[in-house]
Structure 1
Amino acid sequence: MVDQTTSSVAMAADYQAPTAVKPDLRTRLQNLIPKLVLSPSLALILVFVYGFIIFSVYLSFTGSRILPVYDWVGLENYEKLFRLRHWSIAIKNLGIFAGLYIAICTAIGLSLAIFLDQKIRGEGFLRPIFLYPMALSFIVTGTAWKWFLDPGIGLEHTMHLWGWESFEFDWIKNRDFAIYTVVIAAVWQTSGFVMAMFLAGLRGIDNEILKAAQIDGASNWNMYRRIIIPQLRPAFLSAFVILSHLAIKSYDLVVALTGGGPGRATEVPATFMYSYTFTRNQMGIGASSAVIMLMTIAAIMVPYLYAELREKK
């Protein structure tokens, strides 16, 4: 027994842990190449996205007008901003536009998704039709709807040519209704995308749960109200975040469709920021409006990202 113990101790003393094998030059280059390829893009993002965001935040606290200046004025630009009637109009229009846009897109997207989820014939044909508007830019959408809604050449003119002389649809020229034409164009473009999100959520629901509900005698209405729609909560949340983001930064659609008019009837924060920065030469106020927009988007995105990361953990 003693001899065995002695030999074990000797073997343990003679044992040497294996040394780590250093990677050869080829392996090190293979590990380095992805970093080298991505580093220019990362540097450009840091400079032209986050760098300019920081620069805009700094400009919002300066007295910059036609060109950047670096005299610190504190919160003066923000105080001026919230005293401006044009900014109040822009915020009001954004509230109308965003509220209707999100609600209508969600309702239409969910309805189309439920319709396509019935395994109807021609689903493969209808789905691309519903999704096609999202492939267009907002400039194209705005221009097309501007022609369509123009009373002189669009829908109203066509109905008059067909003999319906009493037909009127001049919302795009009417101060009280112009903002709703922006809602119509935006809903037309984005509803198909929302439909795709809800359809993916519907196709991910466990069929066994639905079969069990059918065996228990649940009607289709009760199945959707009590089982299916509650399980679409992630899709609802994602749709809300994406649509809110699109509504807040809406600029090109408004410019192409109404140009912010008639008057300032369709002015939104994005068009306000552009006009005050590059037309009215009030860079400090324009930067402060951009910061308010950034904070609004962050207030929506940060909780969403936090919830997603927490759920994954």
Structure 2
Amino acid sequence: MLVKRQSTRLITRACQLGRFYSSNAGAEQPLYLNPHKWEGLPADQIFELHNLRKESLGEKYNPDDAERSAILSTIVALKQKKPTLDYTYEIENFKERHMTNTPVAQRGLPPKYSNIPVIDAGKTPHEKRRIEHLTRVSAYEMPLLAKFRQEYKPQTNQENPIKLSFNTDFTDNNNGFNRTVTLSCRIEDLELNEQQTRKFKILAGNKFNHNKNLFKFSSNQHPEATQNARWLVQTFNKLLNESKDLSKETFDDIPIDTRHNKSKKVKPQFPESWKRPEDAPISQHNVVRKLVNEVKESKDKKFLSQFTP
């Protein structure tokens, strides 16, 4: 009885499906199932039909040539339009216009532009005019600055004994090398007496180079180079004032430590017996070079005399 019931149900279901397909055979299928009718529709509608077809067919989806050609036809509509060439002329911007007076023999060829030719590498004629202007300024106006010149009088080492060295790394602004500042000073420029010099060397420790008589130390503990420079100057002033003050302590019983200046490796020296000065090359007489330099100097003086007051 159970087998008869199952067979009866299968026969009934097959009859129902047969009636459904037979009744819809003459009806028109939906648009998303007919890709050959998509050509000419807007791009957004074609993609919507494409997605509907994929969802409805599921695993049975297989694109055909009609669907591919319809999707490829939307490339022209989706492609960005090429902007018209713009050129900068002095201050205002203007767009190139096509030539209207094209000769008959040249009609049908690619259109030409009427104003100025395009220069390679993105350069425009106003850039050439700017360079020409700078050239004129350097040739005719810069020599006039000679009347404002003043004699340079550098300060002596005793007036300005401190030397600050800054570092700049353009590849990375956040590099710690950029904020590092170095202060250096020669001991003879400080004008100290013998006891003050000895106390200064003891207080400086390994920051003092006894071979060169040079005091040198650096700092990068602050985020800005100016802050490190200020800290170095303040620390150096404290050290100098403490060295000059002999009323508190003179450190006469403490020897000067010079171990940090001794090299760990002995450098090889060239033997004196190997030197042969008689085999040294003879210096040539550069007569032509001297004459050329003299002619250049005379012409430069003659040219600058026209603008010198």
TM-score, L = length of structure 1: 0.16
**Which protein is richer in strand relative to its size?**
2
**Which protein is richer in helix relative to its size?**
1
Q: Kindly indicate whether structure 1 or structure 2 has the higher relative contact order, using CA contacts under 8 Å at least 6 residues apart.
A: 1
Question: Which structure has the greater CA radius of gyration?
Answer: 2
